[in-house]
Structure 1
């Protein structure tokens, strides 16, 4: 049975440090309007989509830093962002949105939410687990910093898959299924969210895959030239950008294939403040690892594809039939050990 839906990555170009959130939100709404004209049902916005990627800066003023965060329990009611959710509701389009979250207790998280238009509310929240970068800035004044570990705590919500209602017509539900009948691949779509650096960690994808995930969404802000952070060999800015794009596409295609799921990646990209380069490369990838659609620019751009979730079944039931082929008795190091421990020297 076909379970098709039209999805999009809403790539967002350069945002400067002093760009007002309201201005950015209007750009997001413009992309949402374009999505509506193309009958898109789900739009994925980038990580920290409302502001410049502020963790590159060292802030000494808490008040200045807090301007980059959304405050309160319900981001859909945030004064700067409410209009975006209202537009999504009026067009009947689900959205996932990345933003900096400040909890009532004062904790900072790099967060994204899935807003369901049919439900008129957030149905799932995810907080970034794998925070890259450093807590202190580099000594080199010319270095590009990445201070996520300074401004955010690691996510505490885990990798929780969820079903998104209203996207696929005639989806099986509790009242329509007979006792003992298999429901695999018949219900509302099963989704999972990640953020940026999480995409590089296969454990995150596999935890979702073990919950039957059919579509993983994530936004990212990835530097085109982060030599101090990655400790890479000397290369030109052009070479560094090509390498960053290669790895971004590599992990998306490989993990989509190995976990038999579609994926949507959405970039915050471009040249912020005329000096901070972020790669583009937003893409929609199939369960066989093929790029179905990808960005052609480094600016605001909507990347659209029609996907059929039924195409996940071959990988889940044949190539990667976990129930028949996984050997968890041999994977003991995965939950027990974080760093590398080499065998003893000969």
Structure 2
């Protein structure tokens, strides 16, 4: 069965009404192109942090310019469900835990009638832990279209994150980002920036590592001190980019066939089958010679 999917590159800010209007317009555009699964970026409801590092709105005890904290069962998520209708949507937001004080950089997968799964970002870069608590698990979940796994931004730099989802049966991994250009020595053309290069290479590698379809969404434009690199894309299990927005805002739309592609790609070399967990012990160890050495150098 073929399925049309769309990954979003767009700019989302603190203005929720503006965010909802943009979500609605992008959903209309995606549906017009036949998309049944649409991946919005990290922090598409309420925007991301305006800076990264030990300053500005990453300081945990300030409320200046922090994203609005939203409950999973709150009116903001219900509004997205109303806009989604029969389209399955993944979207990022700042989740407020039941304790009323703990925030997570989170994502949810939903349609108009159901929430299929949610995720709290596990890996945190450059002081993000001063604004958000970290999640602690990767699980895939079933939807009417495919079994889906979600991750957020920096997670894509860790092969273990995507592998956990693939081992849990994910056929499509949605990677939502607010991925900026490099903070220093930024390339004049952001498409040539080294952080853009890393973003794209991670997407290709994680799809190919795990032989899954990979949908990468990202913020575009600017917010605070951050310049986002767009490059929303759909990648097939062979690491081939089927569609991309490059730096621009818009939709990367592709038609995929999960069952047929998996039969073709996994019929010979099947990476998940051919693993050797018996020799991977150090991968899950909290101690490693390399990590210890570089930690010591960083604090020297």
TM-score band (shorter)?
Answer: 0.7 to 0.9
Structure 1 residues 127 and 241, CA, compared in 2 at 3 Å: closer, same or farther? farther
Name stretches of at least 5 consecutive residues in structure 2 with no aligned partner. Answer: 294-300
Structure 1 residues 240 and 286, CA, compared in 2 at 3 Å: closer, same or farther? closer
1:194-217: CA deviation from partner (whole Å, max 9, x where unpaired): 000001110011111212321100
State how 1:148-187 maps to structure 2 within 5 Å.
Answer: 148-156=128-136, 158-165=137-144, 167=145
Contact 2:72 2:95 in 1 (8 A): no
- Alignment counterpart, residue 262 of structure 2, candidates 297, 304, 312: 312
Does residue 217 (structure 1) correspond to residue 174 (structure 2)? The answer is yes
Which protein shows a greater Rg? 1
Structure 1 residues 343 and 220, CA, compared in 2 at 3 Å: closer, same or farther? closer
- Alignment counterpart, residue 255 of structure 1, candidates 206, 222, 229: 206
TM-score (norm 2): 0.87
State how 1:138-287 maps to structure 2 within 5 Å.
Answer: 148-156=128-136, 158-165=137-144, 167=145, 189-227=146-184, 234=185, 236-238=187-189, 242-273=193-224, 276-287=226-237
- Alignment counterpart, residue 93 of structure 1, candidates 82, 87, 92: 87
1:250-299: CA deviation from partner (whole Å, max 9, x where unpaired): 111111011110010011111225x5311111110000100000004433
SS of aligned partner of 2:42: coil
Contact 1:224 1:237 in 2 (8 A): no
* Equivalent-residue separation in structure 2 for 1:304 and 1:240 (angstroms): 20
Structure 1 residues 113 and 235, CA, compared in 2 at 3 Å: closer, same or farther? closer
* Equivalent-residue separation in structure 2 for 1:222 and 1:4 (angstroms): 30
Contact 1:73 1:104 in 2 (8 A): no
| Deviation larger for 235-244 or 92-101 | 235-244
**In structure 1, what is the equivalent of residue 106 of structure 2?**
111
SS of aligned partner of 1:54: coil
Contact 1:71 1:104 in 2 (8 A): no
Task: Give the aligned CA root-mean-square deviation in angstroms.
Answer: 2.5
